[in-house]
A and B are shown apart, each in its own frame.
Chain A
Protein backbone atom coordinates (compact mmCIF):
# COMPACT_ATOMS: atom_id res chain seq x y z
CA UNK A 1 0.00 0.00 0.00
CA UNK A 2 2.74 2.42 1.04
CA UNK A 3 5.04 1.15 -1.70
CA UNK A 4 2.25 1.70 -4.20
CA UNK A 5 1.64 5.21 -2.87
CA UNK A 6 5.33 6.00 -3.50
CA UNK A 7 5.77 4.14 -6.78
CA UNK A 8 2.78 5.60 -8.55
CA UNK A 9 3.80 9.30 -8.33
CA UNK A 10 7.42 8.29 -8.95
CA UNK A 11 6.48 6.51 -12.19
CA UNK A 12 4.27 9.44 -13.19
CA UNK A 13 7.03 11.95 -12.58
CA UNK A 14 9.57 9.86 -14.43
CA UNK A 15 7.28 9.46 -17.43
CA UNK A 16 6.55 13.18 -17.47
CA UNK A 17 10.23 14.09 -17.37
CA UNK A 18 11.29 11.67 -20.13
CA UNK A 19 8.44 12.15 -22.58
CA UNK A 20 7.20 15.73 -22.14
CA UNK A 21 10.46 17.41 -21.20
CA UNK A 22 12.62 14.99 -23.17
CA UNK A 23 15.19 14.47 -20.48
CA UNK A 24 17.70 11.67 -20.92
CA UNK A 25 17.23 8.51 -18.85
CA UNK A 26 19.87 8.97 -16.08
CA UNK A 27 18.96 12.59 -15.45
CA UNK A 28 15.24 11.79 -15.33
CA UNK A 29 15.89 8.87 -12.96
CA UNK A 30 18.08 10.91 -10.63
CA UNK A 31 15.58 13.75 -10.65
CA UNK A 32 12.68 11.39 -9.89
CA UNK A 33 14.46 9.47 -7.14
CA UNK A 34 15.68 12.56 -5.37
CA UNK A 35 12.30 14.29 -5.63
CA UNK A 36 10.43 11.29 -4.30
CA UNK A 37 12.98 10.70 -1.51
CA UNK A 38 12.66 14.30 -0.36
CA UNK A 39 8.88 14.16 -0.58
CA UNK A 40 8.67 11.00 1.56
CA UNK A 41 10.97 12.62 4.13
CA UNK A 42 8.81 15.73 4.15
CA UNK A 43 5.56 13.76 4.55
CA UNK A 44 7.04 11.74 7.43
CA UNK A 45 8.26 14.94 9.07
CA UNK A 46 4.94 16.74 8.63
CA UNK A 47 3.02 13.77 10.03
CA UNK A 48 5.15 13.58 13.17
CA UNK A 49 5.03 17.34 13.69
CA UNK A 50 1.25 17.41 13.21
CA UNK A 51 0.61 14.52 15.58
CA UNK A 52 2.91 15.82 18.32
CA UNK A 53 1.69 19.39 18.19
CA UNK A 54 -1.60 20.51 16.77
CA UNK A 55 -2.92 23.88 17.98
CA UNK A 56 -6.54 24.27 19.04
CA UNK A 57 -7.03 27.53 17.14
CA UNK A 58 -5.62 28.51 13.76
CA UNK A 59 -5.43 24.92 12.60
CA UNK A 60 -5.73 25.79 8.95
CA UNK A 61 -3.04 28.48 8.99
CA UNK A 62 -0.73 26.18 10.95
CA UNK A 63 -1.24 23.30 8.55
CA UNK A 64 -0.81 25.41 5.43
CA UNK A 65 2.20 27.24 6.86
CA UNK A 66 3.94 24.04 7.91
CA UNK A 67 3.35 22.20 4.63
CA UNK A 68 4.35 25.24 2.58
CA UNK A 69 7.59 25.66 4.57
CA UNK A 70 8.38 21.97 4.06
CA UNK A 71 7.60 22.21 0.33
CA UNK A 72 9.93 25.20 -0.08
CA UNK A 73 12.62 23.54 2.02
CA UNK A 74 12.72 20.28 0.07
CA UNK A 75 12.57 22.07 -3.26
CA UNK A 76 15.53 24.21 -2.19
CA UNK A 77 17.41 21.12 -1.01
CA UNK A 78 16.60 19.44 -4.32
CA UNK A 79 17.97 22.41 -6.28
CA UNK A 80 21.15 22.56 -4.20
CA UNK A 81 21.74 18.81 -4.52
CA UNK A 82 21.13 18.82 -8.27
CA UNK A 83 23.73 21.51 -8.75
CA UNK A 84 26.29 19.13 -7.28
CA UNK A 85 24.95 15.98 -8.98
CA UNK A 86 24.34 17.15 -12.55
CA UNK A 87 26.63 19.29 -14.73
CA UNK A 88 24.27 19.62 -17.67
CA UNK A 89 23.65 23.40 -17.89
CA UNK A 90 20.48 22.96 -19.95
CA UNK A 91 18.99 20.61 -17.34
CA UNK A 92 19.98 22.92 -14.47
CA UNK A 93 18.27 25.86 -16.09
CA UNK A 94 15.19 23.63 -16.65
CA UNK A 95 15.26 22.82 -12.94
CA UNK A 96 15.55 26.49 -12.10
CA UNK A 97 12.65 27.35 -14.43
CA UNK A 98 10.47 24.61 -12.88
CA UNK A 99 11.11 25.55 -9.24
CA UNK A 100 7.72 27.26 -8.61
CA UNK A 101 5.90 24.32 -10.22
CA UNK A 102 7.95 21.90 -8.10
CA UNK A 103 7.14 23.82 -4.93
CA UNK A 104 3.44 23.70 -5.82
CA UNK A 105 3.58 20.01 -6.69
CA UNK A 106 5.47 19.16 -3.48
CA UNK A 107 3.05 21.18 -1.41
CA UNK A 108 -0.01 19.43 -2.85
CA UNK A 109 1.55 16.02 -2.28
CA UNK A 110 2.64 16.83 1.31
CA UNK A 111 -0.79 18.18 2.28
CA UNK A 112 -2.78 15.31 0.76
CA UNK A 113 -0.48 12.53 1.98
CA UNK A 114 -0.26 13.91 5.54
CA UNK A 115 -4.03 14.33 5.68
CA UNK A 116 -4.54 10.77 4.49
CA UNK A 117 -2.08 9.35 6.99
CA UNK A 118 -3.59 11.24 9.90
CA UNK A 119 -7.15 10.24 8.96
CA UNK A 120 -6.10 6.63 8.54
CA UNK A 121 -4.39 6.56 11.93
CA UNK A 122 -7.41 8.10 13.59
CA UNK A 123 -9.57 5.41 12.03
CA UNK A 124 -7.27 2.64 13.28
CA UNK A 125 -7.28 4.13 16.76
CA UNK A 126 -11.06 4.18 16.80
CA UNK A 127 -11.20 0.60 15.61
CA UNK A 128 -8.90 -0.41 18.43
CA UNK A 129 -11.13 1.40 20.92
CA UNK A 130 -14.23 -0.37 19.64
CA UNK A 131 -12.44 -3.68 19.86
CA UNK A 132 -11.40 -2.84 23.39
CA UNK A 133 -14.95 -1.87 24.29
CA UNK A 134 -16.23 -5.11 22.84
CA UNK A 135 -13.68 -7.09 24.84
CA UNK A 136 -14.63 -5.29 28.03
CA UNK A 137 -18.34 -5.90 27.45
CA UNK A 138 -17.66 -9.59 26.87
CA UNK A 139 -15.66 -9.79 30.08
CA UNK A 140 -18.36 -8.05 32.09
CA UNK A 141 -20.96 -10.41 30.68
CA UNK A 142 -18.79 -13.40 31.51
CA UNK A 143 -18.30 -12.19 35.08
CA UNK A 144 -21.99 -11.53 35.56
CA UNK A 145 -22.89 -14.96 34.25
CA UNK A 146 -20.44 -16.58 36.62
CA UNK A 147 -21.84 -14.65 39.53
CA UNK A 148 -25.44 -15.53 38.70
CA UNK A 149 -24.51 -19.14 38.18
CA UNK A 150 -22.82 -19.45 41.54
CA UNK A 151 -25.61 -17.83 43.51
CA UNK A 152 -25.89 -20.51 46.13
CA UNK A 153 -28.44 -19.77 48.82
CA UNK A 154 -26.61 -19.45 52.13
CA UNK A 155 -29.84 -20.42 53.91
CA UNK A 156 -29.76 -23.74 52.14
CA UNK A 157 -26.24 -24.47 53.27
CA UNK A 158 -26.69 -23.53 56.92
CA UNK A 159 -30.02 -25.25 57.24
CA UNK A 160 -28.51 -28.41 55.78
CA UNK A 161 -25.66 -28.28 58.28
CA UNK A 162 -28.19 -27.85 61.05
CA UNK A 163 -30.07 -30.93 59.86
CA UNK A 164 -26.82 -32.88 59.87
CA UNK A 165 -26.15 -31.67 63.38
CA UNK A 166 -29.52 -33.02 64.48
CA UNK A 167 -29.02 -36.33 62.70
CA UNK A 168 -25.67 -36.88 64.39
CA UNK A 169 -27.52 -36.97 67.70
CA UNK A 170 -30.51 -38.98 66.64
CA UNK A 171 -29.58 -41.09 63.58
CA UNK A 172 -25.80 -41.13 63.00
CA UNK A 173 -25.88 -43.33 59.86
CA UNK A 174 -28.27 -40.89 58.18
CA UNK A 175 -26.07 -37.99 59.22
CA UNK A 176 -23.15 -39.59 57.39
CA UNK A 177 -25.34 -40.14 54.37
CA UNK A 178 -26.36 -36.51 54.33
CA UNK A 179 -22.78 -35.28 54.70
CA UNK A 180 -22.03 -37.32 51.60
CA UNK A 181 -25.01 -35.89 49.71
CA UNK A 182 -24.14 -32.34 50.65
CA UNK A 183 -20.51 -32.85 49.60
CA UNK A 184 -21.56 -34.31 46.26
CA UNK A 185 -23.87 -31.40 45.71
CA UNK A 186 -21.26 -28.77 46.61
CA UNK A 187 -18.62 -30.47 44.48
CA UNK A 188 -20.99 -30.53 41.54
CA UNK A 189 -21.86 -26.87 42.09
CA UNK A 190 -18.22 -25.85 42.00
CA UNK A 191 -17.57 -27.97 38.94
CA UNK A 192 -20.59 -26.67 37.08
CA UNK A 193 -19.47 -23.12 37.63
CA UNK A 194 -16.64 -23.66 35.16
CA UNK A 195 -18.70 -25.34 32.50
CA UNK A 196 -20.49 -23.63 29.68
CA UNK A 197 -22.77 -26.44 28.55
CA UNK A 198 -23.78 -29.76 30.04
CA UNK A 199 -26.24 -32.43 28.98
CA UNK A 200 -29.77 -32.44 30.31
CA UNK A 201 -28.95 -35.78 31.88
CA UNK A 202 -26.07 -34.29 33.88
CA UNK A 203 -28.25 -31.42 35.04
CA UNK A 204 -30.94 -33.85 36.17
CA UNK A 205 -28.38 -35.83 38.11
CA UNK A 206 -27.29 -32.63 39.82
CA UNK A 207 -30.92 -31.78 40.55
CA UNK A 208 -31.38 -35.16 42.22
CA UNK A 209 -28.44 -34.49 44.52
CA UNK A 210 -30.11 -31.27 45.54
CA UNK A 211 -33.50 -32.92 46.04
CA UNK A 212 -32.07 -35.70 48.17
CA UNK A 213 -30.90 -33.04 50.65
CA UNK A 214 -34.17 -31.12 50.61
CA UNK A 215 -36.03 -34.38 51.27
CA UNK A 216 -34.02 -34.92 54.41
CA UNK A 217 -34.84 -31.38 55.53
CA UNK A 218 -38.56 -31.48 54.84
CA UNK A 219 -39.13 -35.19 55.07
CA UNK A 220 -42.42 -36.62 53.91
CA UNK A 221 -43.83 -33.20 53.08
CA UNK A 222 -41.87 -32.95 49.89
CA UNK A 223 -42.73 -35.03 46.85
CA UNK A 224 -41.12 -34.35 43.49
CA UNK A 225 -42.19 -36.10 40.30
CA UNK A 226 -40.04 -35.83 37.19
CA UNK A 227 -40.93 -36.83 33.65
CA UNK A 228 -38.14 -36.80 31.10
CA UNK A 229 -38.32 -37.46 27.37
CA UNK A 230 -35.52 -40.00 26.87
CA UNK A 231 -34.77 -38.69 23.39
CA UNK A 232 -33.51 -35.35 24.61
CA UNK A 233 -31.36 -36.52 27.51
CA UNK A 234 -28.18 -35.69 25.65
CA UNK A 235 -29.18 -32.18 24.63
CA UNK A 236 -26.79 -29.51 25.76
CA UNK A 237 -28.05 -26.84 28.12
CA UNK A 238 -26.38 -24.21 30.32
CA UNK A 239 -25.63 -25.65 33.78
CA UNK A 240 -27.48 -24.81 37.00
CA UNK A 241 -30.64 -23.61 35.30
CA UNK A 242 -33.10 -26.18 36.60
CA UNK A 243 -31.97 -26.32 40.21
CA UNK A 244 -32.87 -22.67 41.00
CA UNK A 245 -36.28 -23.23 39.39
CA UNK A 246 -36.97 -26.26 41.52
CA UNK A 247 -35.61 -24.47 44.58
CA UNK A 248 -38.03 -21.64 43.89
CA UNK A 249 -40.91 -24.08 43.49
CA UNK A 250 -40.05 -25.74 46.79
CA UNK A 251 -39.80 -22.42 48.58
CA UNK A 252 -43.07 -21.22 47.11
CA UNK A 253 -44.77 -24.50 47.78
CA UNK A 254 -43.39 -25.15 51.25
CA UNK A 255 -43.55 -21.64 52.54
CA UNK A 256 -47.02 -21.10 51.18
CA UNK A 257 -48.55 -24.09 52.89
CA UNK A 258 -47.92 -26.62 55.60
CA UNK A 259 -49.62 -29.43 53.71
CA UNK A 260 -47.67 -31.86 51.61
CA UNK A 261 -46.06 -30.29 48.62
CA UNK A 262 -46.00 -32.14 45.38
CA UNK A 263 -43.91 -30.65 42.62
CA UNK A 264 -44.09 -31.88 39.05
CA UNK A 265 -41.34 -31.35 36.53
CA UNK A 266 -41.63 -32.29 32.87
CA UNK A 267 -39.01 -31.97 30.16
CA UNK A 268 -39.92 -32.48 26.53
CA UNK A 269 -39.18 -31.30 23.04
CA UNK A 270 -41.04 -28.52 21.25
CA UNK A 271 -39.89 -28.04 17.65
CA UNK A 272 -36.23 -27.11 17.95
CA UNK A 273 -36.32 -26.29 21.61
CA UNK A 274 -36.25 -28.06 24.92
CA UNK A 275 -39.06 -27.20 27.27
CA UNK A 276 -39.16 -27.64 31.02
CA UNK A 277 -42.30 -27.04 33.06
CA UNK A 278 -42.28 -27.04 36.83
CA UNK A 279 -45.55 -26.87 38.75
CA UNK A 280 -46.01 -26.33 42.45
CA UNK A 281 -49.11 -25.86 44.60
CA UNK A 282 -49.87 -22.25 45.30
CA UNK A 283 -52.13 -20.58 47.80
CA UNK A 284 -53.60 -17.51 46.11
CA UNK A 285 -54.38 -15.91 49.47
CA UNK A 286 -50.74 -15.84 50.40
CA UNK A 287 -48.77 -12.81 49.44
CA UNK A 288 -45.28 -14.18 48.87
CA UNK A 289 -42.84 -12.68 51.35
CA UNK A 290 -40.47 -10.01 50.09
CA UNK A 291 -37.38 -11.24 48.32
CA UNK A 292 -38.66 -14.67 47.37
CA UNK A 293 -38.66 -13.76 43.69
CA UNK A 294 -34.90 -13.76 43.45
CA UNK A 295 -34.63 -17.16 41.85
CA UNK A 296 -36.59 -16.11 38.81
CA UNK A 297 -35.10 -12.65 38.33
CA UNK A 298 -31.55 -13.97 38.43
CA UNK A 299 -32.52 -16.71 36.01
CA UNK A 300 -34.16 -14.28 33.57
CA UNK A 301 -31.01 -12.22 33.53
CA UNK A 302 -28.89 -15.31 32.89
CA UNK A 303 -31.10 -16.41 30.01
CA UNK A 304 -30.85 -12.96 28.49
CA UNK A 305 -27.06 -12.99 28.74
CA UNK A 306 -26.87 -16.49 27.28
CA UNK A 307 -29.45 -16.30 24.50
CA UNK A 308 -30.12 -12.58 24.10
CA UNK A 309 -33.84 -13.21 24.60
CA UNK A 310 -36.33 -12.16 27.23
CA UNK A 311 -39.14 -14.55 26.36
CA UNK A 312 -37.65 -17.85 27.45
CA UNK A 313 -39.12 -17.94 30.93
CA UNK A 314 -42.88 -17.72 31.44
CA UNK A 315 -44.98 -18.16 34.57
CA UNK A 316 -48.68 -18.73 34.99
CA UNK A 317 -51.12 -19.33 37.80
CA UNK A 318 -53.96 -21.77 37.28
CA UNK A 319 -56.35 -22.49 40.10
CA UNK A 320 -54.04 -23.52 42.94
CA UNK A 321 -50.99 -24.15 40.83
CA UNK A 322 -48.05 -22.04 39.90
CA UNK A 323 -46.21 -23.12 36.76
CA UNK A 324 -42.88 -22.00 35.40
CA UNK A 325 -42.16 -22.73 31.76
CA UNK A 326 -38.59 -22.61 30.53
CA UNK A 327 -37.72 -22.86 26.85
CA UNK A 328 -34.15 -23.52 25.77
CA UNK A 329 -33.39 -23.19 22.05
CA UNK A 330 -31.33 -26.03 20.63
CA UNK A 331 -27.60 -25.52 20.88
CA UNK A 332 -26.13 -25.80 17.40
Chain B
Protein backbone atom coordinates (compact mmCIF):
# COMPACT_ATOMS: atom_id res chain seq x y z
CA UNK B 1 0.00 0.00 0.00
CA UNK B 2 1.12 3.50 -0.82
CA UNK B 3 0.66 5.96 2.03
CA UNK B 4 -0.96 9.23 0.99
CA UNK B 5 -1.65 12.42 2.95
CA UNK B 6 -4.10 15.10 1.80
CA UNK B 7 -3.50 18.70 2.88
CA UNK B 8 -6.21 21.18 1.93
CA UNK B 9 -8.30 23.52 4.04
CA UNK B 10 -11.53 22.94 2.14
CA UNK B 11 -13.29 19.68 3.09
CA UNK B 12 -14.93 19.40 -0.33
CA UNK B 13 -11.61 19.72 -2.05
CA UNK B 14 -10.26 16.75 -0.06
CA UNK B 15 -13.50 14.94 -0.78
CA UNK B 16 -12.93 15.02 -4.52
CA UNK B 17 -9.34 13.82 -4.23
CA UNK B 18 -10.50 10.91 -2.07
CA UNK B 19 -13.21 10.09 -4.58
CA UNK B 20 -10.71 10.10 -7.46
CA UNK B 21 -8.30 7.96 -5.45
CA UNK B 22 -10.87 5.15 -5.24
CA UNK B 23 -9.74 4.24 -8.74
CA UNK B 24 -6.37 3.34 -7.20
CA UNK B 25 -7.05 0.67 -4.56
CA UNK B 26 -3.37 0.51 -3.64
CA UNK B 27 -3.37 4.12 -2.46
CA UNK B 28 -4.23 4.55 1.18
CA UNK B 29 -5.15 7.96 2.54
CA UNK B 30 -3.65 7.77 6.01
CA UNK B 31 -4.57 11.29 7.07
CA UNK B 32 -6.36 14.45 5.96
CA UNK B 33 -5.07 17.80 7.15
CA UNK B 34 -6.71 21.21 7.38
CA UNK B 35 -3.54 23.27 7.33
CA UNK B 36 0.23 23.20 7.05
CA UNK B 37 0.81 22.71 10.79
CA UNK B 38 -1.21 19.52 10.75
CA UNK B 39 0.52 18.62 7.51
CA UNK B 40 4.00 18.81 9.06
CA UNK B 41 2.93 16.58 11.94
CA UNK B 42 1.20 14.06 9.70
CA UNK B 43 4.18 13.77 7.38
CA UNK B 44 6.56 13.23 10.30
CA UNK B 45 4.28 10.65 11.80
CA UNK B 46 3.28 8.65 8.73
CA UNK B 47 6.19 9.22 6.36
CA UNK B 48 3.88 9.09 3.32
CA UNK B 49 5.23 8.43 -0.16
CA UNK B 50 2.93 10.95 -1.80
CA UNK B 51 1.08 14.05 -0.65
CA UNK B 52 -1.58 16.15 -2.33
CA UNK B 53 -0.93 19.73 -1.27
CA UNK B 54 -3.02 22.88 -1.63
CA UNK B 55 -1.07 26.13 -1.77
CA UNK B 56 -3.40 28.73 -0.27
CA UNK B 57 -4.09 27.49 3.25
CA UNK B 58 -4.54 28.76 6.80
CA UNK B 59 -1.54 29.78 8.90
CA UNK B 60 1.23 28.76 6.55
CA UNK B 61 0.93 28.13 2.83
CA UNK B 62 1.89 24.94 1.02
CA UNK B 63 5.36 26.14 0.09
CA UNK B 64 6.18 27.26 3.61
CA UNK B 65 5.03 23.89 4.88
CA UNK B 66 7.35 22.05 2.49
CA UNK B 67 10.29 24.17 3.64
CA UNK B 68 9.86 22.68 7.09
CA UNK B 69 10.11 19.08 6.00
CA UNK B 70 13.53 17.48 5.74
CA UNK B 71 12.60 14.20 4.09
CA UNK B 72 10.25 15.52 1.47
CA UNK B 73 7.71 13.08 0.05
CA UNK B 74 6.59 13.35 -3.59
CA UNK B 75 4.18 16.21 -4.02
CA UNK B 76 1.29 16.78 -6.38
CA UNK B 77 0.22 20.37 -5.95
CA UNK B 78 -3.44 21.30 -6.21
CA UNK B 79 -4.03 24.98 -6.73
CA UNK B 80 -6.89 27.26 -7.68
CA UNK B 81 -5.06 29.78 -9.76
CA UNK B 82 -1.63 31.23 -9.54
CA UNK B 83 0.28 32.13 -12.64
CA UNK B 84 3.55 32.42 -10.70
CA UNK B 85 3.18 28.99 -9.22
CA UNK B 86 2.36 27.41 -12.53
CA UNK B 87 5.46 28.86 -14.10
CA UNK B 88 7.58 27.50 -11.29
CA UNK B 89 6.06 24.04 -11.61
CA UNK B 90 6.37 23.84 -15.35
CA UNK B 91 9.96 24.96 -15.28
CA UNK B 92 10.80 22.19 -12.82
CA UNK B 93 8.54 19.38 -13.98
CA UNK B 94 6.79 19.08 -10.63
CA UNK B 95 3.23 17.97 -11.12
CA UNK B 96 0.32 20.22 -10.37
CA UNK B 97 -3.43 20.11 -10.79
CA UNK B 98 -5.67 23.08 -11.31
CA UNK B 99 -9.00 23.43 -9.51
CA UNK B 100 -11.54 22.33 -10.49
CA UNK B 101 -9.60 19.11 -10.90
CA UNK B 102 -10.64 16.95 -13.88
CA UNK B 103 -10.55 13.22 -13.21
CA UNK B 104 -8.53 12.20 -16.28
CA UNK B 105 -5.91 14.79 -15.46
CA UNK B 106 -5.81 13.52 -11.88
CA UNK B 107 -5.28 9.93 -13.02
CA UNK B 108 -2.60 11.03 -15.43
CA UNK B 109 -0.70 12.72 -12.59
CA UNK B 110 -0.93 9.69 -10.32
CA UNK B 111 0.07 7.28 -13.12
CA UNK B 112 3.00 9.49 -14.00
CA UNK B 113 4.13 9.42 -10.39
CA UNK B 114 3.70 5.63 -10.22
CA UNK B 115 5.69 5.03 -13.38
CA UNK B 116 8.60 6.99 -11.97
CA UNK B 117 8.18 5.70 -8.43
CA UNK B 118 11.16 7.80 -7.44
CA UNK B 119 9.98 10.91 -5.67
CA UNK B 120 10.36 14.27 -7.29
CA UNK B 121 14.05 15.00 -7.27
CA UNK B 122 14.80 17.09 -4.18
CA UNK B 123 16.80 19.65 -6.13
CA UNK B 124 13.83 20.24 -8.43
CA UNK B 125 11.63 20.87 -5.44
CA UNK B 126 14.26 23.25 -4.04
CA UNK B 127 14.16 25.15 -7.30
CA UNK B 128 10.39 25.48 -7.14
CA UNK B 129 10.54 26.69 -3.56
CA UNK B 130 13.19 29.30 -4.20
CA UNK B 131 11.58 30.54 -7.40
CA UNK B 132 8.32 30.92 -5.46
CA UNK B 133 10.09 32.99 -2.85
CA UNK B 134 11.74 35.23 -5.41
CA UNK B 135 8.76 35.70 -7.69
CA UNK B 136 6.08 36.19 -5.06
CA UNK B 137 7.35 39.63 -4.08
CA UNK B 138 9.68 39.95 -1.13
CA UNK B 139 8.97 37.64 1.72
CA UNK B 140 7.79 39.18 4.93
CA UNK B 141 8.00 36.21 7.25
CA UNK B 142 10.13 33.13 7.83
CA UNK B 143 8.66 29.86 8.98
CA UNK B 144 10.87 27.71 11.21
CA UNK B 145 10.48 24.54 13.20
CA UNK B 146 11.62 24.23 16.80
CA UNK B 147 11.27 20.68 17.97
CA UNK B 148 7.75 19.74 17.01
CA UNK B 149 6.48 23.29 16.95
CA UNK B 150 6.22 25.57 13.99
CA UNK B 151 7.08 29.20 14.51
CA UNK B 152 6.43 32.16 12.26
CA UNK B 153 9.01 34.91 12.47
CA UNK B 154 8.11 38.29 10.94
CA UNK B 155 11.24 39.44 9.12
CA UNK B 156 11.33 42.73 11.00
CA UNK B 157 12.07 40.74 14.16
CA UNK B 158 15.15 39.11 12.64
CA UNK B 159 18.37 40.57 14.06
CA UNK B 160 20.79 38.77 11.81
CA UNK B 161 21.29 35.58 9.85
CA UNK B 162 24.41 33.49 10.37
CA UNK B 163 25.85 30.72 8.20
CA UNK B 164 25.84 27.30 9.85
CA UNK B 165 27.42 24.70 7.56
CA UNK B 166 24.85 24.03 4.85
CA UNK B 167 22.10 25.72 6.85
CA UNK B 168 21.59 29.11 8.41
CA UNK B 169 20.75 30.35 11.89
CA UNK B 170 17.99 32.92 12.07
CA UNK B 171 18.63 35.03 15.17
CA UNK B 172 15.85 37.00 16.89
CA UNK B 173 15.41 38.42 20.39
CA UNK B 174 13.75 35.13 21.32
CA UNK B 175 16.59 32.92 20.25
CA UNK B 176 18.33 31.18 17.37
CA UNK B 177 16.44 29.07 14.85
CA UNK B 178 18.01 26.66 12.40
CA UNK B 179 16.68 26.79 8.86
CA UNK B 180 17.60 24.57 5.93
CA UNK B 181 18.25 27.39 3.48
CA UNK B 182 21.39 29.04 2.17
CA UNK B 183 22.87 32.47 2.88
CA UNK B 184 22.55 33.17 -0.82
CA UNK B 185 18.83 32.43 -0.70
CA UNK B 186 18.20 35.04 1.98
CA UNK B 187 20.55 37.53 0.40
CA UNK B 188 18.42 37.31 -2.73
CA UNK B 189 14.93 37.15 -1.28
CA UNK B 190 14.98 39.49 1.71
CA UNK B 191 14.45 43.22 1.19
CA UNK B 192 17.88 44.47 0.12
CA UNK B 193 17.27 47.84 1.76
CA UNK B 194 16.95 46.19 5.15
CA UNK B 195 19.15 43.12 5.04
CA UNK B 196 22.78 43.41 3.98
CA UNK B 197 25.33 40.67 3.49
CA UNK B 198 28.03 42.20 5.64
CA UNK B 199 30.25 39.14 5.66
CA UNK B 200 30.52 35.73 4.01
CA UNK B 201 28.85 34.29 7.10
CA UNK B 202 26.52 37.13 8.13
CA UNK B 203 23.47 38.99 6.88
CA UNK B 204 22.58 41.87 9.21
CA UNK B 205 19.29 43.67 9.68
CA UNK B 206 20.29 47.27 9.05
CA UNK B 207 17.81 48.62 11.61
CA UNK B 208 19.56 46.62 14.35
CA UNK B 209 22.98 48.15 13.81
CA UNK B 210 23.81 50.96 16.23
CA UNK B 211 27.38 51.66 15.21
CA UNK B 212 30.23 50.46 13.05
CA UNK B 213 33.79 50.42 14.36
CA UNK B 214 37.06 49.81 12.54
CA UNK B 215 38.63 46.49 13.41
CA UNK B 216 41.71 44.84 11.92
CA UNK B 217 43.13 45.83 8.55
CA UNK B 218 40.27 46.82 6.24
CA UNK B 219 37.66 45.02 8.30
CA UNK B 220 35.04 46.48 10.64
CA UNK B 221 32.73 45.44 13.42
CA UNK B 222 29.00 46.10 13.37
CA UNK B 223 27.57 46.53 16.86
CA UNK B 224 23.90 45.61 17.23
CA UNK B 225 21.43 47.11 19.68
CA UNK B 226 21.75 44.17 22.00
CA UNK B 227 25.53 44.58 22.09
CA UNK B 228 26.29 41.67 19.78
CA UNK B 229 29.31 42.28 17.54
CA UNK B 230 29.33 41.04 13.96
CA UNK B 231 32.36 41.04 11.65
CA UNK B 232 32.09 43.19 8.51
CA UNK B 233 34.29 42.26 5.56
CA UNK B 234 35.77 44.76 3.14
CA UNK B 235 33.10 44.05 0.48
CA UNK B 236 30.41 43.96 3.17
CA UNK B 237 31.48 47.40 4.38
CA UNK B 238 31.09 48.79 0.86
CA UNK B 239 27.56 47.35 0.60
CA UNK B 240 26.66 48.61 4.07
CA UNK B 241 27.89 52.12 3.32
CA UNK B 242 25.80 52.17 0.17
CA UNK B 243 22.59 51.24 1.99
CA UNK B 244 23.25 53.66 4.85
CA UNK B 245 24.16 56.40 2.38
CA UNK B 246 27.55 57.23 3.95
Contacts and interface: CB of A to CB of B under 8 A. Distances in A.
Given A155-B80, A255-B58, A291-B137, A161 B100 contact: yes
B98 A254 contact: no
A165 B100 contact: yes
A76 to B, nearest CB: 75
Interface in B81-114: 81, 98-101
Contacts of B58: 254-258
Interface in A163-222: 163-167, 169-170, 216-219
Interface string B132-164: 000011111100000000001110000000000
B19 A162 contact: no
B11 A219 contact: yes
Nearest to B153: A287
B99 A158 contact: yes
Interface string B6-44: 000111110110010000000000000011011000000
B47 interface: no
Looking at chain A's contact residues, is the secondary structure mostly helix, strand, loop, or mixed?
helix
Interface residues of B, number: 32
A161 B12 CA distance: 11
Of the listed residues B10, B12, B34, B138, the one surrounded by the most CB atoms of chain A closer than 10 A to its CB is: B12
A218 B10 contact: yes
A257 B38 CA distance: 12
Contacts of A285: 152
A255 B16 contact: no
A255 B57 CA distance: 6
Which of A163, A165, A166, A285 has the largest count of B CB atoms less than 10 A from its CB?
A166
Contact of B137 (A155, A165, A290): A290
Contacts of A170: 15, 19
Nearest to B56: A155
Contacts of B56: 155, 255
B59 A256 contact: yes
B229 interface: no
A254 B12 CA distance: 16
A161 to B, nearest CB: 4
Nearest to B143: A287
A162 B13 contact: yes
B195 to A, nearest CB: 16
Interface size class of A (residues with CB under 8 A): 20 to 34
A124 B58 CA distance: 61
Interface string A256-295: 1110000000000000000000000000011101110000
Given A287-B152, A289-B141, A166 B59 contact: no
Contacts of B80: 154-155, 158-159, 162
A217 B16 contact: no
B139 A290 contact: yes
B182 interface: no
Contacts of A166: 12-13, 15-16, 19
A247 to B, nearest CB: 13
A255 B38 CA distance: 14
A155 B56 CA distance: 9
A162 B137 contact: no
A159 B56 CA distance: 11
Nearest to B157: A287
Contacts of A169: 15-16, 19
Contacts of B19: 166, 169-170
Given A154-B81, A290-B136, A254 B101 contact: no
Nearest to A158: B80
Contacts of B37: 258
A287 B140 contact: yes
B61 interface: yes
B16 A165 contact: yes
Given A170-B19, A254-B58, A285-B152, A158 B141 contact: no
B16 A286 contact: no
B140 A163 contact: no
B76 to A, nearest CB: 15
Q: Which of A218, A287, A290 is the most central at the interface, judged by chain B CB atoms within 10 Å of its CB?
A: A287
13 contacts: A155-B81, A162-B16, A162-B80, A162-B100, A163-B13, A165-B100, A217-B10, A254-B9, A258-B9, A258-B34, A258-B35, A286-B59, A290-B138
User: Which 4 pairs of residues, A with B, have the shortest CB-CB distance?
Assistant: A162-B99, A166-B16, A158-B80, A166-B12
